[in-house]
Amino acid sequence: MTTEEILALALGLSGLREVPADTAIHVPGRDIRKVLVGIDLEGAELLWAKAEGFDLVITHHPPGGPSALDFWQVLLRQAELLRSYGVPEDVAQAAAAELVRENRLQNHARNYLRLPALARALGLAYMNIHTPLDEIGRKRLVAAVAELPQGAAVGDLVAHLRSRFGEFRNARTEIMVVLGNSRNRAGKVAVIHGAGTNGGYPVAKALFDHGVDTVLYIHIRPHEAHRLAQEYGGKGKNLVVLGHIAGDSLGINPFVEALRARGLFVEPFDLVSP
């Protein structure tokens, strides 16, 4: 396979029609047979992959290049998710805009050349696939949430996700209810994943203010969780954090199996097993 064919496979599995801004082929490759796949495969991992004879390294998070600098563009997908859960257009756009402003400023601090340059120097094909694989994971989560009976509690939701997905059972982190409690009614549940990163405070606030009872993130910064707890504690609202590596693995593992089904040798690196 080529790197272009592998990227097309990821798009097909995710249902996306275009390559998102946070996904890129940094060093193209052909006749790929042996692949290292993981979440954060950087300098040390590239050196190890070259020494072990891998043809291609696929990392999940943007390591540099255009997928890092243009990452802010996929944050606009937050507004799409918000609208799908009934948040008005103007509120959705404002919440996404907060995330975009912060990310675009952070770009000026990062070295976006280092890792693609290292892969080129090693003669190693290198790509990252972010939103397409997160979209696979998001769809799996949405389908699992839809299986809950009416009147289910937050604790029932957590138990169901653990039962449904080995990634949550096998992770060293536990699914955490950071706002609300397991006895609360889950009610209307919003899965916010596959839009760059978690929506933080502004996205959760928009959802809570417009009829959503429970928000699922894979991670959130502590100060934002604290702010939400201060504003919505005791109001029947719930924020459930699934775990970053487990949540990312949920979307990457089906892609790994699809590559293997096409005859490639694929070595998972920093993934939680299904």
**b/e per residue, 178-197, with b = 16+ CB within 10 A?**
bbbeeebbbbebbbbbbbbb
**Cα distance between residue 100 and residue 76, in whole Å:** 8
Q: CATH topology of 3-129+248-267 equal to that of 136-247? A: yes
The CATH topology of domain 136-247 is: 3.40.1390
Is the Cβ–Cβ distance between 65 and 112 less than 8 Å? yes
End-to-end CA, the chain: 25
Q: Does pTM top 0.85 for this prediction?
A: yes
Q: Which numeric CATH code is attached to 3-129+248-267?
A: 3.40.1390.30
Q: In the structure encoding, which two tokens stand for residue 148, read together?
A: 């809950």
Dihedrals φ, ψ of 184, to 5°?
Answer: -60, 150
What DSSP designation does 143 have? Answer: H
Q: Could you tell me the residue ranges of all domains in the chain?
A: 3-129+248-267, 136-247
Element (H, E) at 24: strand 24-27
**pLDDT tens-place values along the chain, 274 residues long:** 999 999 999 999 999 999 999 999 999 999 999 999 999 999 999 999 999 999 999 999 999 999 999 999 999 999 999 999 999 999 999 999 989 998 888 888 889 999 999 999 999 999 999 999 999 999 999 999 999 999 999 999 999 999 999 999 999 999 999 999 999 999 999 999 999 999 999 999 999 999 999 999 999 999 999 999 999 998 999 999 999 999 999 999 999 999 999 999 999 999 999 9
